[in-house]
Amino acid sequence: MPADRFVQQLNTQIGNEFAAHQQYVACAVYYDALTMPQMAGFFYAQAVEERDHAMMMVKYLVDQDAEVTIPGVAAPQTTFAAPVALALEQEKRVTDQINQLTRIAREEYDFASDQFMQWFIKEQVEEVATMSDLLTVVKRAKNDVEAIEDYVQRETANDSPDPTAPTVAGA
């Protein structure tokens, strides 16, 4: 059974992941309204990914016979000056949260939870890099919507599921 401190914080993180899901849906809707289908699709996919992260955490707790609580989330931001910059800051914040969870698992000698968190650490490195690169492209091509759309299409063309990812609850 995972350490109580870890379970409590992982339940909080489930809420953080669902909040990230909602924020990415709001970003997707913003780009949909601008008739930028590649950016909209990218953020809709990011939203699903965040939801799946929450459900991976749910599955882990269920499998460990630990209590699962699904916290409510605040409404996402829906007006934007720079949605990609907001997304990058969100990914950096989530990285800090994942690192904190890993630290708690290690402090509690909760080796199974520590191992579970390793995939999320790898995932956050990728997420921050992706958003950082996208922000660079958006800044550089701010007056060239087609260049931004082309970049997203090229970068997401070969996306495939990660076979090392934890199981999603309900999948």
pLDDT digits (tens, 9 = 90+) for 14-51: 999 999 999 999 999 999 999 999 999 999 999 999 99
| pLDDT the model gives residue 132 | 98
Residue 148 lies in a domain: yes
pLDDT digits (tens, 9 = 90+) for 43-72: 999 999 999 999 999 999 999 999 999 999
pTM comes to 0.94
Residue 162 lies in a domain: no
Residue 165 lies in a domain: no
Q: Read off the tokens for 45.
A: 């996919």
Please say if the pLDDT value at position 171 is more than 90. no
Assign 157 a pLDDT band (cuts: 50, 70, 90). confident
CATH number at residue 49: 1.20.1260.10
Structural domain boundaries, residue 45: 4-156
| pLDDT the model gives residue 160 | 85
Residue 161 lies in a domain: no
Contact 92, 62 (CB under 8 A): no
Contact 123, 46 (CB under 8 A): no
Q: What is the DSSP letter of 138?
A: H
The secondary structure of the chain in percent helix, strand, coil, rounded to multiples of 5, reads 75, 0, 25
The burial of 170, by beta-carbon neighbours within 10 Å (0-12 exposed, 13-18 middle, 19 or more buried), is given as: exposed
Residue 101 lies in a domain: yes
Q: How many domains does the chain have?
A: 1
pLDDT digits (tens, 9 = 90+) for 84-129: 999 999 999 999 999 999 999 999 999 999 999 999 999 999 999 9
Task: State the average pLDDT over residues 164-168.
Answer: 94
Contact 38, 153 (CB under 8 A): yes
| pLDDT the model gives residue 158 | 82
Residue 132 lies in a domain: yes
Q: What is the DSSP letter of 169?
A: T
